[in-house]
Amino acid sequence: MNQPELIYVEVIKVYDENKTKFTPIDIENIKTIVSLSNSVTELNGIFLDAFTKIMEDGKIDMNDSIHFMTFIHEVVRLFNDYTTNQNFKISLSSETVLQFLYFIIKSILVLTLDDEQERVAISMLDASVKLIQITVLPIAKCKCNRGCFSFNH
């Protein structure tokens, strides 16, 4: 992490992969929440707790999947709390929060891990986000040609 130019290049790569998933209003709303001192303190606590648990055994593997899920769930909960309980009303969809979180976590993983550990961690991140989407987003969004849960015998 002592090469700021490399950090910038790697984060921009992750940003470029994800930038179309955010509207300018989404970005402004995220900035508003993240700039609150309480939310910064809470986010730091969630990040620190999650990464301490993830790295507790010195490696990232499938045993850490519960920590990824808990981490993502806690950040989504925090954003939900801030969008519903503040004096001002900010509208952020669950998708936007998950995409923001994905961008942040993937940037951290790309910057701190190498090779196989990075690949495994990003795979767990992808899976965790997909599982959280299933539990957070309404099933009505399912766009299946047949019933969402139907199958052929």
Kindly write down the DSSP assignment for every residue of 104-122, as one continuous string. Answer: HHHHHHHHH--HHHHHHHH
- Whole-prediction pTM value? 0.71
Across 113-134, average pLDDT:
83
At how many degrees (to 10) do helices 24-34 and 37-54 cross? 90
- Whether 145 is covered by a domain: the verdict is no
Residue 34: pLDDT above 50?
yes
- Whether 151 is covered by a domain: the verdict is no
Q: Quote the pLDDT of residue 142.
A: 44
Residue 126: pLDDT above 80?
yes
For 78, the token pair is 């925090």
More confident residue, 39 or 26: 26
Residue 152 pLDDT level (bands cut at 50, 70, 90): very low
- Whether 152 is covered by a domain: the verdict is no
Count of structural domains within the chain? 1
State the residue range of the domain holding 131. Answer: 4-136
Q: Quote the pLDDT of residue 148.
A: 41
Q: Quote the pLDDT of residue 144.
A: 45
- Whether 142 is covered by a domain: the verdict is no
What confidence tens digit (pLDDT) does each residue in 42-59 have? 888 988 898 899 888 887
Residue 88 pLDDT level (bands cut at 50, 70, 90): low
What confidence tens digit (pLDDT) does each residue in 58-76 have? 877 778 888 888 888 888 8
Q: Quote the pLDDT of residue 136.
A: 59
- Whether 89 is covered by a domain: the verdict is yes
In the chain, the DSSP E strands lie at none
- Whether 128 is covered by a domain: the verdict is yes
- Whether 42 is covered by a domain: the verdict is yes
Query: How many CB atoms within 10 Å of residue 71?
Result: 22
- Whether 50 is covered by a domain: the verdict is yes
